[in-house]
Structures are given as structure tokens and as C-alpha cells.
């Protein structure tokens, strides 16, 4: 059982969510859970936005504050979508009025790929649609997406508010090819499945290694870098061997389940 940290106090300025915006990591492992990490899920509670729905998605329930829930999926690999089958419990007796699911082209496959007999007893009743090419507005954020290389492709997301921004990039091999897409973000959340010594394994599986991610973050002028989607076979608190990233991005940290940061 992992205790989630206290929600930081936040000055309110009359806007819908105040001056600070909390980002909570609910699942930080790639592929499968281990004793301390569930699979990919990141939530912005004030906005009711969830990035990916791995097994960490069950924790969304305790962070529901908005009356809408928008789920943005990077791709349909199971470690990013299997938590959708927990929605019945996540929403049970919660005052959430609308749930919307967006993802890459073909995301509608989830309806029959995950929510039909014999895999699941009930149909998925919420709208599911690809992110429009021109992007969309969600809870005051301009949301844009870019398809990146990964077996089957993976969508990177960028969320821009008038005074802050973040990007969520997972399940791809880090490169400068998309540096412009994440240019200058206040927070770059990027996958880092493997340390540098496992670069070959990362390339083989369509994932990233530590120094490649930090070089991208530096080149793109990201203000903060948090690494996630780590190798579940490695139980250490620092499975990505951060020293390799600190060479060019000294403030980099690796996420853990329950971590909350303010943007």
C-alpha cells in the first residue's frame, strides 16, 4: 500500500483551478506492474484529465474532483488501456457527469477489443474518438498530439494553458525529431524504459534510454523533466540510472507511484 502525499495547498485566484496545477503519477511502470509500481497513468485532478489508463487507473477514483473525466490514450498496448475496465468502480457513486476517451487513429477498436464477451461483461458506454488533427480544447487547455514511432505508433500529447504547459511522451524512442513539438514546456513527462546500458533492448522494443531522453529535453528547452514508464523487472528506486541524464539535465527525476508535482 503506497500512501499518497498530502495535496499541496493552492492559492485560489478566482479561476476554475487556481494558480497551481497538480499532476499526480498513479502508475509509473511499463509493461506490467511490480511490487511498487502500477502501469502508466498520470492525472491532472483539477481538470479531470487522465493520461493513459494502465493498471494505476484504479487510483483515479480517489482523485476525482472535476465533474468531467477526459482520458487521453497514447496507444492501445495493454499497459496503457487495461485500466479502462476499472471504470465501473472508479466512477461508482461519484458525481462525474461526462466521460470522454480520446486516443490515436483506430482507438474505437477498444469497444470490441476490450469490452466484449468473453473479455468483459458490459459494453463501453462512453464516447471514444481519435484526437482531431487540429487538436482540441479540454478544461481550458489546448491539447495537441503527434504520432511517434513505436510498434503500432504512439501519440505524444502537449497541453497548453495560457500560463503553463506540459507534454506527455511515452512508448517511443527518444529523438530530436519531435523536439519542436515539446519545445519550451514547463514539464516534460517522458518515458524511460531502460538505462543506457540497455540501449539495444530499448531500440528493439521501441522505447527510450536515459541519456537519449535527457538530450531531447535539453535540446527542446524543457524546464523540468520527469521520467516514467520504467522497467518493472528493476525494483530499484532509480531503475533508469539517473546519473546518465544529469549530465545534460541536472534536475531530472524519476517518477514513482503517488508522486505529485505542481506545475
CB contact at 8 A, 137 and 152: no
Within 8 A by CB and 6+ apart from 26, the residues are 38, 41, 42, 43, 56, 57, 59, 60, 63, 257, 258
- Within positions 117 to 146, which residues make up the interface with Zn ion, using CB under 5 A? none
Buried residues in 52-70 as b, exposed as e (16+ CB within 10 A): bbbbbbbbbeebbebeebb
Task: Please identify which residue in the block is written with the cell numbers 477514483.
Answer: 61
CB contact at 8 A, 207 and 231: no
Where helices occur in the chain by DSSP H, the ranges are 78-81, 87-90, 110-113, 199-205, 210-220, 243-246
- Within positions 192 to 251, which residues make up the interface with Zn ion, using CB under 5 A? none
Residue 171 contacts Zn ion per CB under 5 A: yes
Nearer to Zn ion, 30 or 83 (CB): 30
Nearer to Zn ion, 46 or 171 (CB): 171
Nearer to Zn ion, 171 or 215 (CB): 171
Residue 30 contacts Zn ion per CB under 5 A: yes
Report which of 201, 225, 232 is spatially closest to residue 56, judged by C-alpha positions. 232
Give 226's strand partners: 189, 253
Q: Which of 59, 63, 77, 190 binds Zn ion (CB under 5 A)?
A: 77
Q: How far is the CB of 79 from Zn ion (least distance, A)?
A: 4
Q: How far is the CB of 3 from Zn ion (least distance, A)?
A: 26
Q: How far is the CB of 16 from Zn ion (least distance, A)?
A: 32
Nearer to Zn ion, 55 or 165 (CB): 55
Angstrom distance (rounded) from CA 25 to CA 206: 22
Per-residue string for binding with Zn ion, 79-108, x by CB under 5 A? Answer: x-----------------------------
Within 8 A by CB and 6+ apart from 254, the residues are 28, 192, 226, 227, 228, 230, 237, 238, 239, 240, 242
Residue 46 contacts Zn ion per CB under 5 A: no
Task: Please identify which residue in the block is written with the cell numbers 499518497.
Answer: 4
Q: How far is the CB of 229 from Zn ion (least distance, A)?
A: 6
Q: How far is the CB of 199 from Zn ion (least distance, A)?
A: 18
Nearer to Zn ion, 33 or 258 (CB): 33
Nearer to Zn ion, 66 or 202 (CB): 202
Residue 22 contacts Zn ion per CB under 5 A: no
**Among 86-94, 117-125, 163-171, 215-223, the segment contacting Zn ion (CB under 5 A):** 163-171
Record the cell numbers describing residue 170, joined without a space: 511515452
Where on the chain is the footprint of Zn ion (CB under 5 A)? 30, 77, 79, 171
Amino acid at each position: 500500500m503506497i500512501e499518497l502525499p498530502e495535496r499541496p495547498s493552492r492559492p485560489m485566484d478566482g479561476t476554475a483551478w487556481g494558480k497551481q496545477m497538480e499532476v499526480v503519477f498513479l502508475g509509473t511502470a511499463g509493461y506490467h506492474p511490480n511490487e511498487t509500481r502500477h502501469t502508466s497513468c498520470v492525472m491532472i485532478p483539477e481538470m479531470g484529465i487522465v493520461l493513459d489508463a494502465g493498471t494505476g487507473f484504479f487510483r483515479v477514483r480517489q482523485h476525482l474532483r472535476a465533474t468531467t473525466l477526459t482520458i487521453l490514450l497514447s496507444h492501445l498496448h495493454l499497459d496503457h488501456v487495461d485500466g479502462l475496465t476499472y471504470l465501473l468502480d472508479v466512477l461508482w457513486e461519484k458525481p462525474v457527469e461526462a466521460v470522454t476517451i480520446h486516443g490515436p487513429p483506430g482507438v474505437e477498436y477498444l469497444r470490441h477489443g476490450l469490452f466484449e464477451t468473453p473479455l468483459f461483461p458490459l459494453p463501453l458506454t462512453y464516447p471514444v474518438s481519435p484526437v482531431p488533427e487540429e487538436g482540441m480544447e479540454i478544461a481550458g487547455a489546448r491539447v495537441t498530439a503527434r504520432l511517434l514511432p513505436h510498434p503500432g505508433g504512439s501519440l505524444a500529447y502537449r497541453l497548453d494553458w495560457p500560463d503553463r504547459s506540459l507534454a506527455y511522451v511515452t512508448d517511443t524512442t527518444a529523438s530530436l525529431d519531435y523536439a519542436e513539438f515539446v519545445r519550451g514546456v514547463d514539464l516534460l513527462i517522458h518515458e524511460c524504459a531502460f538505462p543506457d546500458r540497455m540501449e539495444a533492448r530499448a531500440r528493439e522494443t521501441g522505447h527510450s534510454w536515459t541519456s537519449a531522453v535527457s538530450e531531447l529535453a535539453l535540446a527542446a528547452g524543457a524546464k523540468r523533466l520527469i521520467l516514467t514508464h520504467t522497467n518493472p523487472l528493476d525494483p530499484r528506486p532509480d531503475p533508469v540510472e539517473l546519473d546518465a541524464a544529469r549530465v545534460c539535465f541536472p534536475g531530472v527525476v524519476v517518477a514513482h507511484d503517488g508522486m505529485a508535482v505542481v506545475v
